[in-house]
């Protein structure tokens, strides 16, 4: 789809693909890129034909974090304001990380190269991370005297544990894909040539599933991380009101008895 300057956005076979498109910067994100990703995700959310999303990078990098190059021009909207950095984060990357965590369709990060600092945060905000064997993941924020902001300090320990997250950030460590998988940062590692075909297979398999049940299952699992067991059980019981009486349930049961593949319509 046209109209974007720093991403590529396509939709095919019920899967939306968002490609970060600043390969000369290893897809370091800018304000423009972040808002274009948000716009593409909003379109994918509102398009009932889209059932899964792939997020990847152009060229040899997934995302190298925020753009810190000398020639990069930061937004001037808050220039000189005492809360400049906080306000810019709230309107940019903070919104994207929050949007991804609340997005109720499955999102696969196809990590094709370096995913470091904010780029790692972006990958961890997705539901799955399939990494090319040559990819590298880690946190380089402190090399620039920066901090793991924009969700990093929350997400890094969530996936790899507090001690390992501290070691990664404080020592500015970057790991090869296989080690990143052992540390909990990656779901699957595949040969470089198999990255996008694998991500596409995963996404299309998800797209074949019952969309209402998938979306509610995803929201339940994220919400219930902060609930007591009693509240989680009540949340699940209430959620069945939206799932148990759908046409998709009837189709799933019929397909089971008829020994055929179900055709879920999302109704």
The span from the CA of 102 to the CA of 35, in Å, is 16
The span from the CA of 56 to the CA of 37, in Å, is 11
Tens of pLDDT, residue by residue over 40-84, are 999 999 999 999 999 999 999 999 988 877 555 555 565 665 655
In the chain, what are the domains?
Answer: 7-207 (3.90.226.10), 209-257 (no CATH)
On the question of pLDDT at 160 being above 70, the answer is: yes
Q: Report the first-to-last Cα separation within the chain, whole angstroms.
A: 28
Q: What is the pLDDT of residue 83?
A: 59
Q: What is the average per-residue pLDDT within 193-207?
A: 97
What pLDDT is stored for residue 24 in this prediction?
94
Rounded-to-10 torsion of CA 69, 73, 75, 79? 100
Dihedral pair phi/psi, residue 127, rounded to 5°: -80, -35
H helix or E strand, kind and range, residue 33: helix 31-46
The tens digit of pLDDT for each residue in 185-196 reads 999 999 999 999
- Sequence-distant (≥ 6) Cβ neighbours of residue 219 within 8 angstroms: 104
Cβ neighbours of 205 (radius 10 Å): 11
* Residue 159 phi, psi dihedral angles, 5° rounding: -90, -30
Q: How far apart (Å, rounded) are the C-alpha atoms in residues 200 and 40?
A: 18
Report the chain's mean pLDDT, rounded to a whole number. 91
């Amino acid at each position: 789809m046209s109209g974007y300057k720093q991403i590529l956005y396509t939709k095919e076979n019920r899967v939306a693909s968002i490609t970060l498109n600043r390969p000369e910067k290893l897809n370091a994100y800018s304000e423009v890129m972040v808002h274009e990703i948000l716009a593409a995700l909003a379109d994918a959310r509102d398009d009932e034909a889209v059932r899964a999303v792939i997020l990847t990078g152009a060229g040899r990098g997934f995302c190298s974090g925020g753009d810190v190059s000398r020639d990069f021009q930061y937004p001037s909207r808050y220039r000189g304001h005492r809360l400049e950095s906080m306000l810019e984060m709230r309107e940019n990357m903070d919104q994207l990380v929050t949007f991804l965590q609340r997005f109720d369709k499955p999102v696969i990060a196809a990590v094709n190269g370096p995913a470091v600092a904010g780029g790692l945060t972006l990958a961890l905000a997705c539901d799955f991370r399939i990494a090319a064997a040559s990819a590298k993941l880690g946190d380089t924020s402190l090399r620039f005297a920066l901090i793991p902001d924009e969700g990093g300090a929350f997400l890094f320990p969530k996936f790899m544990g507090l001690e390992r997250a501290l070691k990664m950030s404080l020592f500015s460590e970057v790991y090869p894909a296989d080690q990143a998988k052992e540390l909990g940062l990656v779901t699957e590692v595949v040969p470089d040539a198999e990255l996008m075909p694998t991500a596409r297979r995963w996404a299309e398999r998800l797209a074949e599933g019952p969309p209402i049940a998938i979306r509610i299952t995803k929201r339940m699992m994220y919400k219930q991380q902060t609930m007591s067991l009693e509240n989680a059980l009540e949340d699940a019981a209430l959620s069945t009101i939206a799932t148990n009486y759908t046409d998709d349930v009837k189709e799933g049961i019929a397909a089971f008895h008829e020994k055929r593949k179900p055709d879920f319509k999302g109704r």
